[in-house]
Homo-oligomer: A and B are copies of this chain.
Amino acid sequence: MLDMNYQAILDHIYTDIQPQIGVGKVASYIPELAKVSPAHFGMAIVDLHGNVYAVGDANTVFSIQSISKLFALTLAFHLQGDAIWLRVGREPSGNPFNSLVQLEREAGKPRNPFINAGALVVTDMLCTRFTHAENALLQFIRKISHNPDIGFDEAVAKSERNTSDRNSAMAHFMKSFGNLHNPVEAVLDAYCKHCAITMTATDLARAVTFLANGGALPWNGDAVLDKSSAKRLSALMLTCGTYDAAGDFAFRVGLPAKSGVGGGIVAVMPGECGICVWSPALEETGNSHAGSLALEMLTNLTGRSIF
């Protein structure tokens, strides 16, 4: 793919996607997210040589929300290896309706680390390891995105924390099964901070290049994960990374990806590049509408997916 002209492809996508920008609904469960304009669209590709290709609002920061689940998982996986799978599964969740039932049937073990229940368990692991899990995660993200300036949006964090009754319910429920080791309040504090990290599409595209590079940071070769683990994490993104639309997303786009309700989606082209697209208006599934379409265009235009 050395001859792939990513900038030309992004420009092409940017033109074609215009009518789709703003279609859907911006997340509104907290006022801070509701304020974001649906007119944004940014997309960035960072290849393994460090080249950056970008269009639109690729350098505007936004709330990464559930994309933080990918980074928290990576950090926990990095620290504890396969032991993490004793406490969280690797299967798609089926549908949202069942989440609590499944927790009940499966004795407090969430289906996967990308649903809220699973991310709470992963956060709990980080809370056990670090006095300030949110700072540890921030440092880690700064490192893998090669940007020391990444930070939290405190207003978003606070607002998330004040509307976290559903997450509290799940956390208490898992605690009743013994699958949460730290106080519920502490885990929720960290979790809400994680969701409130702000990054640009370019930051995020770079932050996932290690997954396209066999687990190592392309600019210095530092191993975040070993090669096998990096592949496995990508597999998990494909089967579970885009809420209850993972099957459809794999079918249409065919790339490992993780989305957030802030409108961001990161994706990985193994051996080639990290990708991020951001557009705040969401489909009912919680995935960015224009973002999903842009990634579909990308694999159609390049003729490349993992399949």
Contacts and interface: CB of A to CB of B under 8 A. Distances in A.
A101 B91 contact: no
A251 B236 contact: yes
A91 B176 contact: no
Interface string A69-110: 000000000000000000001111111011011101100000
A250 B228 contact: no
A197 to B, nearest CB: 24
Contacts of A244: 91
A232 interface: yes
Contact of A90 (B105, B112, B175, B248): B248
Contacts of A190: none
Interface stretch (A4-12, A137-145, A165-173): A165-173
Contact of A92 (B91, B231, B306): B91
Contacts of A173: 100, 165-166, 169
Contact of A166 (B92, B168, B176, B247): B176
A252 interface: yes
Majority SS of interface residues in chain A?
Answer: helix
Interface in A150-191: 165-166, 168-173, 175-176, 184
Interface in A234-282: 234-236, 238-240, 244-248, 250-252, 254, 256, 270
A273 to B, nearest CB: 14
Given A90-B247, A97-B105, 19 more contacts: A91-B94, A91-B245, A94-B94, A94-B98, A94-B111, A98-B101, A100-B104, A165-B172, A165-B175, A169-B173, A172-B172, A231-B254, A232-B254, A236-B247, A236-B251, A239-B246, A256-B307, A270-B307, A306-B307
Interface of A: 89-95, 97-98, 100-102, 104-105, 111-112, 165-166, 168-173, 175-176, 184, 227-228, 230-232, 234-236, 238-240, 244-248, 250-252, 254, 256, 270, 300, 303, 305-307
